[in-house]
């Protein structure tokens, strides 16, 4: 996977990004999702992750769980609507995985999207995400 660094924050290619700090990877009709490198670095040391159970449903732009760091508790805001197929239990037992590998082992959910085309269109692609990260960093 190719990736670009913007001011030390990793942005992998081939993913979609939400302004709620999520990435989405499409794999054979399913959507794998997790938090971005920028998000985990802003949170710092993640100590607790609360995720919903498989079989539940998500609504785009609505919270479905939370992450707690030494700094704050933050809602996890879903980038897509759909049904939850898999939940990564490894991150609930080892929350630091989100800090160590947010785009790999630190994925959170795999879902079957219910309104994919419209909702993907609302997300940022790789190039838009780079520009957005640059604007965030410029604001400081």
CATH number of 3-118: 2.40.50.100
Full-model pTM = 0.95
3-state per-residue secondary structure call for 29-89: CEEEEEECHHHHHHHCCEEEEECCCCCCEECCCCEEEEEEECCCEEEEECCCCEEEEEECH
**Distance between CA atoms of 93 and 30, rounded to whole angstroms?**
24
Residue with tokens 């992998």: 12
Residue with tokens 């959910």: 109
User: What is the per-residue pLDDT across 71-113, written as a single tens digit (0 to 9) for each?
Assistant: 899 999 999 999 999 999 999 999 999 999 999 999 999 999 9
Mean of pLDDT values over 125-137? 94
Cβ atoms < 10 Å from Cβ of 95: 19
User: What is the per-residue pLDDT across 10-49, written as a single tens digit (0 to 9) for each?
Assistant: 999 999 999 999 999 999 999 999 999 999 999 999 999 9
Q: Take residue 50 and report the two structure tokens written for it.
A: 């609360």
**Distance between CA atoms of 61 and 74, rounded to whole angstroms?**
14
Domain map of the chain by residue range?
Answer: 3-118
């Amino acid at each position: 996977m190719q990736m670009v660094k913007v001011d030390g924050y990793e942005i992998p290619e081939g993913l979609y990004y939400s302004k709620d700090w999520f990435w989405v990877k499409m794999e054979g009709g399913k959507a794998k999702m997790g938090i971005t490198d920028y998000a985990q670095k802003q949170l710092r040391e993640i100590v607790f992750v609360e995720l919903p159970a498989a079989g539940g449903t998500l609504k785009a732009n609505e919270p479905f769980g939370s992450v707690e760091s030494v700094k704050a508790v933050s809602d996890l805001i879903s980038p897509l609507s759909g049904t939850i197929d898999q939940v990564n239990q490894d991150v609930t037992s080892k929350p630091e995985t989100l800090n160590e590998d947010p785009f790999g082992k630190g994925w959170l959910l795999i879902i079957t999207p219910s309104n994919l085309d419209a909702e993907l269109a609302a997300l940022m692609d790789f190039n838009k995400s780079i520009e957005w990260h640059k604007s965030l960093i410029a604001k400081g």
